[in-house]
Amino acid sequence: MENENRKVLLSIRDLKQYFPVKKTKLREKQRYVRANDGISLDIYAGETLGLVGESGCGKSTLGRTLLQLYPQTEGQVIYHKDGKDIDLKSLPKEEMRVLRKDLQLIFQDPYSSLNPRMTVGQIIGEGLVSHGMFKRGDPAMKDYIFKVMENCGLDTYMFGRYPHQFSGGQRQRIGIARSLALNPSFVVCDEAVSALDVSIQSQILNLLSDLKEKQNLTYLFITHDLSVVKYISDRIGVMYLGNMVELAPTEELFANTLHPYTEALLSAIPVVDEDDKRERILLEGDIPSPVNPPSGCKFHTRCRYCQQKCKEEVPEWVDVGNNHFVACHFPLKHKE
């Protein structure tokens, strides 16, 4: 789908993730939540790809599906490693377990993602032992954990402390240390700073950027906050109701917004400049049900530019140049 000469780390092809809805006496026909409804894109080695959209648009599901925490219903996720193309879904369980070290997740909620009965040293060490990087009790493991803690801005005296003894920002640093200690190549950061105060958010974003450079990481950065994603991402993908509707390098997306949904999201970013008289576009109504999405363009029920064609025909995913892709029958020409 994309024609860059950069090294592709993950290829996602027509990915569908449908979850069955429980049948009732009134509705016996099996219905599905279409969390991801045919997504195709490449993720390049070393980039940060931001993924934005309202709650329920399927961005977290996509992140977890790429890590095979939910095996996809249809489509392919190909991981390119050491010259091999590995189809993650068809990988035997044991091989997937070995590969899991490469593909890590940083959770949203630092309060609930850490075991309260384990010390920081045990939390970070657990994965190292289970992935065979160290034997339990190996003195070298402690030195390694100290190094990881220092890299993540944690003092080594915290090694024997429990999660409840830390602030939110420090707990998120522990979560990051736990994931990055395994030397992954691809990390999904799922709303990784959303639960933190704004001042702490910037510290964690800077830490993630530094670690990316040091460890040559590739991030999928999932958030509903466009100002955060603008700061950290090389490219941004915009999702609506299970589909990618626009994808472009960050500067290009902000300078030349083409999809009406992206336009509405960007207009909602708070500004401090009094002279900035941007129109705030309010999207009417709630996001429709992913069980029974609207016909044609799924966004047509909330789009202020909707025309008859939008209600009948699904817009194609079009390459408009500059690595900019959009799915809209009537893309906006240029942002004012």
Which residues here bind ligand SF4, judged by CB under 6 A? Answer: 259-260, 297, 299-300, 303, 305-306, 310, 315, 328-330
State the Cα–Cα distance between residues 34 and 17, nearest whole angstrom: 6
Least CB distance to ligand SF4 at residue 265 (A): 12
Q: Please identify, using beta-carbon distances, which residue of 171 and 300 lies nearer to ligand SF4.
A: 300
- Give the nearest distance from C-beta 143 to ligand SF4 in angstroms: 55
H-type alpha helices, 42-90: 59-66
Select 274 or 336, whichever has its Cβ closest to ligand SF4. 336
Between 107 and 325, CB nearer to ligand SF4: 325
Pick between residue 11 and residue 243 the one whose CB is nearest to ligand SF4.
Answer: 243
Q: Answer yes or no: are the C-beta atoms of 28 and 298 closer than 8 Å.
A: no
Q: Kindly tell me which of 124 and 297 has the beta carbon lying closer to ligand SF4.
A: 297
* Site of tokens 């490469």: 102
The nearest distance, CB 5 to ligand SF4, in angstroms, is 31
Beta bridge partners of 41: 12
CB distance 179 to 151 below 8 Å: no
Q: How far is the CB of 257 from ligand SF4 (least distance, A)?
A: 12
Residue 43 CA neighbour count, 13 Å, CB half: 30
Give the residue with the Cβ less far from ligand SF4, 78 or 328.
328
**Beta strand extents in 53-176 (DSSP E only):** 74-81, 84-87, 103-106
Find where tokens 């990055």 sit. Answer: 180
State the nearest-atom distance from the C-beta of 306 to ligand SF4, in Å. 4
Minimum distance, C-beta of residue 286 to ligand SF4, in the bound complex (Å): 17
Cα gap 128→126, rounded to integer Å:
6
CA distance to 10, 74, 161, 292, per residue, from 65 (Å): 12, 11, 33, 22
